[in-house]
Copies of this chain bind each other. A is one copy, B any other.
């Protein structure tokens, strides 16, 4: 059966963009607490109904508004040595969580997820932090013998905890964290690892 050609006025791409931008701006300007559907609608010059037509949750909009930026900011170019790679990633992660707008949105979503199962699921599906971490591990430490989930948590957890528990990002020594992660990470003897890289 052929899909009926779309009838009626098509969705306004302009409205969609305006809404996402409005959310972004509002989170940055006034913080998540001040993000209100009414506010978004007014800011975007859009009717409230239009928002409800396409999203069912404030979290959904926020996620859509920040997902792409998040992915980008956590994408770290490959470095020569695993150590450099890991440090670069941790720095990016720290900046993302503590400074970036997308990170603000992400933290807000994590917060919501603690008392909203739907948001939790949404976040689990997207998981920009977990995915980026896994990529880095696979790239920097091929052939490691760790279980990936635990490894991800070991890599990301300390920074995540640091920022979300309200500690000062400037005081975190990512070099030490990277070193510690690598020391026990590879799961192979250092000699072996050195040989591998050396050739």
Contact = CB atoms under 8 A, between A and B. Distances in A.
Contact of A114 (B107, B121, B183, B184): B107
What is the total number of copies of this protein in its complex? 4
Given A147-B176, A160-B161, A108 B113 contact: no
A130 B165 contact: yes
Interface in A151-188: 153-154, 156-162, 164-167, 171-173, 176-177, 179-180, 183-184
Contact of A150 (B114, B123, B166, B172): B172
A180 B181 CA distance: 8
A114 B154 contact: no
Contacts of A116: 31, 33
B115 A31 contact: yes
A31 to B, nearest CB: 5
A115 B113 CA distance: 13
A16 B109 CA distance: 32
A149 interface: yes
Contact of A166 (B113, B171, B177, B184): B113
Interface residues of A, number: 44
B157 A110 contact: no
Given A176-B150, A180-B154, A115 B162 contact: no
Contact of A167 (B110, B115, B149, B172): B149
Contacts of A107: 114-115
Interface of A: 31-33, 107-108, 110-116, 120-121, 123-124, 127, 129-130, 147, 149-150, 153-154, 156-162, 164-167, 171-173, 176-177, 179-180, 183-184
- A-B pairs, top 7 by smallest CB distance, nearest first, are A157-B157, A111-B111, A157-B158, A32-B115, A157-B161, A153-B158, A111-B114
